[in-house]
């Protein structure tokens, strides 16, 4: 401990002019800068554009920004460096995750823009109206929506991209907040069932703030140990000391809590079902796909780059977390009667499957996680897109009983949803199977065969509740409870179509994407 304090003065004594002019590699940072720029422009649109035109301006603005950023990511694909004074990594995993997040953001944007069934969409027209008042009743009928959702989403996307690319814990913390704060707000924007939505937003905010505090405290501890917040420097500090340090362990544990909270691992998963259920479905889709990608990116980078030399210390803990996450997610999902809550618990179980590869810590782990995140993200967005289309007179029909006989009402949508469910269960010829194979392979290779056995057993358990929905849709006669299936507009169809295409293609001919993931699996690191 004292040695760490003595190591620090070297940095403290550094001449201040070093901080004055950080060189910014604009090219390498261009994807991030584009998305931040679009988000800021979106705020200006809110301020200056007439309300009637805002939606029409915001959607192309955000969409164009995401596409431009995606092109920038593709152009940067071979970069492998640390930029912005050591705080941002532009390397394979970061770029792969950025690309994934942008693609998922485009699909989510389609959902957010969806306007089917009478011109209204899932978002409330005025978030400030109190539930139960007369204004709130009028809002339900109005066709307007909060267009602030689009810049909020852009900010969140930028935060997600930065989260997985941060090479310093401080940048990572800022990214964490940038990605989370807009999501807290967006969770409260549901048009219907306002109370539930606001409860979700509040819960998410309180628990999220709590986990951020953990992260920040952990950051301070690790800084106290290593004298730096830069991941490469922490790596060197961890590797060079042959002794244990309570600051390091406490700090690492607290950072882990912050990160595991974001990806919904047990025992930090309690927020997921409530937030998934309460948030407007497009926001749920975006959150389920995007946050998971970003959080796993940050987890991988923190533990593989900074705490890599301490693998033997954190692996046992992660074993336990992975087992708990798989088992609790799978078992609690069985008891759910609400489709969104079921998918929430299922996402917990999937986080557990990804943790199997992460825990194994082999050369293949990173690519397996990257591939899994990509496939899962598209399937879950497609699934939530369909959830948003099954309606009853009071809004979305999320109770499972309303899904009875959907196969007759809407054969194509039910068939697509079935396909997504089979992908979640890991049936071959879907991307879900390839992804599961990939992570379990990494697991066995890394000596985590025990985890893999628990993984396959919980997979069989998860199949139960996926198949139960299929039974409801196909083998049960429809009930006359006013459930209707909204005709999807071009936007929602695009989101569903994209999810379906990716799920099918990566299930049948995954070789090309596996190659990309494989080539993108090395982290850049400063230091020795």
Partner 1 sequence: MVHHDSFPWLTIIGLIPLGGALLIALVPAGRDLAVKRIALLVSLVTLGWTGVMTAQYDTAKAGYQFAQSTDWIKQFGVRYAVGTDGIGLVMILLVTVLVPVVVLASWHDSHGAPGRERPSSVRTFFVLVLSLETIMIGVFSSTDVFLFYVFFEAMLIPMYFLIGMFGGQHRSYASIKFLLYSFAGGMLMLAALIGLYIQSVHQFGTGTFNLFALEQLHLSSGLQDWLFLGFFVAFAIKAPLWPLHTWLPDAGAEAPIGGSVMLVCVLDKVGTFGFLRYCIPLFPDASKTFAPYVVALGVVGVLYGALVAMYQRDWKRLVSYTSVAHFGFIAMGIFAFTSQGGTGAVLYMVNHGLSTGALFLVVGFLVARKGHADIPSFGGLAKRAPLLSGLFLLAGLSSLALPGLNTFVSEFLVLVGSFTRYRVAAIVATTGIILAALYVLIAYQRTMHGPLKAGLEQVKDLDLREIAVIAPMLSLIVLLGVYPKPIIDIIKPSVAATYQQAHRTDPPPLATTAANDRTTNQDGAGQ
List interacting residues with partner 1 (CB under 8 A): 422, 425-429, 433-434, 436-437, 440-441, 443-445, 449, 452-453, 455-457, 459-460, 463-464, 467-468, 470-471, 474-477, 510-511, 514-515, 518
Q: Which residue's CB is nearer to partner 1, number 53 or number 475?
A: 475
Q: Which residue's CB is nearer to partner 1, number 43 or number 444?
A: 444
Matching residue, tokens 């599961």: 436
CB 299, CB 321: distance < 8 Å: no
Q: Which residue's CB is nearer to partner 1, number 115 or number 518?
A: 518
| Closest CA relative to residue 221, chosen from 320, 298, 292, 306 | 306
Closest distance to partner 1 from the beta carbon of 475 (Å):
4
Closest distance to partner 1 from the beta carbon of 408 (Å):
8
Closest distance to partner 1 from the beta carbon of 431 (Å):
12
Q: Are strands 390-392 and 395-396 parallel, antiparallel or unpaired?
A: antiparallel
Q: Which residue's CB is nearer to partner 1, number 231 or number 506?
A: 506
CA distance 516 to 519: 5
Three-state secondary structure along 240-295? HCCCCCHHHHHHHHHHHHHHHHHCCCCCCCCHHHHHHHHCCHHHHHHHHHHHHHHH
Q: Which residue's CB is nearer to partner 1, number 388 or number 510?
A: 510
Q: Which residue's CB is nearer to partner 1, number 59 or number 505?
A: 505
Closest distance to partner 1 from the beta carbon of 470 (Å):
8
Closest distance to partner 1 from the beta carbon of 355 (Å):
17
Closest distance to partner 1 from the beta carbon of 468 (Å):
7
CB burial string 263-290: b at 16+ within 10 A, e below:
bbbbebbebbbbbbbbbbbbbbbbbbbb
**How far out from the chain centre does Cα 251 lie?**
24
Closest distance to partner 1 from the beta carbon of 428 (Å):
4
Closest distance to partner 1 from the beta carbon of 421 (Å):
11
Closest distance to partner 1 from the beta carbon of 327 (Å):
15
Q: For 509, list phi and psi in degrees, rounded to 5.
A: -125, 75
> If you compute the radius of gyration of the chain from its CA atoms, what whole number of angstroms results?
23
What is the secondary structure of 312-351 as a DSSP string?
Answer: HHHHHHHHHHHHHHHHHHHHHHHT--BHHHHHHHHHHHHH
CB 101, CB 161: distance < 8 Å: yes
- Residues in CB range of 400: below 8 A, 6 or more apart: 336, 337, 338, 339, 342, 468, 469, 472
Q: Which residue's CB is nearer to partner 1, number 42 or number 507?
A: 507
Q: Which residue's CB is nearer to partner 1, number 105 or number 435?
A: 435
Q: Which residue's CB is nearer to partner 1, number 65 or number 407?
A: 407
Q: H or E stretch including 163? A: helix 149-165
CA distance 426 to 353: 11
């Amino acid at each position: 401990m004292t040695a760490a304090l003595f190591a620090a003065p070297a940095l403290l004594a550094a001449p201040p002019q070093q901080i004055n002019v950080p060189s910014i590699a604009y090219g390498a940072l261009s994807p991030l800068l584009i998305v931040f720029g679009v988000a800021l422009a979106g705020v200006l649109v809110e301020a200056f554009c007439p309300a009637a035109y805002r939606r029409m301006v915001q959607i192309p603005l955000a969409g164009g920004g995401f596409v431009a950023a995606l092109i920038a990511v593709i152009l940067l694909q071979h970069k492998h460096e640390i930029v912005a004074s050591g705080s941002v990594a532009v390397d394979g995993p970061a770029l792969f995750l950025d690309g994934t997040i942008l693609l998922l953001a485009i699909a989510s944007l389609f959902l957010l823009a969806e306007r089917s069934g009478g011109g209204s969409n899932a978002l409330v027209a005025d978030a400030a109206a109190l539930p139960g008042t007369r204004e709130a009743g009028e809002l339900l009928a109005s066709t307007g929506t909060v267009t602030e959702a689009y810049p909020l989403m852009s900010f969140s996307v930028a935060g997600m991209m930065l989260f997985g690319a941060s090479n310093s814990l401080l940048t990572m913390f800022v990214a964490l907040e940038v990605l989370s704060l807009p999501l807290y707000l967006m969770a409260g924007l549901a048009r219907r069932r306002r109370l539930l939505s606001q409860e979700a937003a509040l819960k998410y905010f309180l628990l999220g703030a709590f986990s951020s505090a953990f992260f920040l405290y952990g950051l301070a501890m690790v800084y106290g140990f290593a004298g730096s917040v830069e991941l490469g420097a922490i790596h060197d500090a961890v590797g060079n000391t042959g002794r244990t340090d309570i600051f390091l362990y406490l700090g690492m544990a607290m950072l882990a809590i912050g990160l595991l909270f974001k990806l919904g691992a047990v025992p930090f998963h309690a927020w997921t079902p409530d937030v998934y259920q309460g948030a407007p479905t497009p926001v749920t889709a975006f959150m389920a796909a995007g946050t998971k990608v970003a959080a796993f990116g940050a987890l991988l980078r923190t533990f593989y780059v900074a705490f890599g030399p301490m693998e033997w210390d954190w692996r046992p803990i992660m074993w336990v977390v992975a087992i708990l996450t798989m088992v609790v997610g799978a078992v609690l999902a069985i008891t759910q009667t609400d489709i969104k809550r079921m998918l929430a618990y299922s996402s917990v179980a999937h986080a557990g499957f990804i943790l199997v590869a992460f825990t194994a810590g082999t050369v293949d782990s990173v690519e397996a996680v990257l591939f899994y995140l990509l496939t899962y993200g598209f399937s879950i967005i497609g699934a939530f897109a369909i959830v948003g289309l099954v309606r009853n007179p009071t809004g979305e029909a999320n109770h499972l009983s309303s899904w009875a006989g959907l196969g007759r009402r809407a054969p194509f949508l039910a068939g697509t949803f079935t396909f997504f469910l089979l992908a979640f269960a890991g049936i071959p010829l879907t991307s879900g199977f390839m992804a599961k194979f990939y992570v379990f392979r990494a697991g066995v290779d890394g000596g985590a065969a025990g985890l893999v056995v628990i993984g396959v057993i919980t997979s069989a358990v998860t199949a139960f509740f996926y198949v139960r929905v299929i039974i409801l849709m196909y083998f049960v006669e429809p009930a006359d409870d006013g459930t209707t299936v909204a005709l999807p507009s071009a936007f929602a169809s695009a989101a569903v179509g994209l999810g379906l295409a990716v799920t099918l293609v990566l299930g049948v001919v995954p070789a090309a994407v596996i190659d990309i993931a494989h080539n993108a699996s090395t982290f850049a690191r400063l230091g020795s």
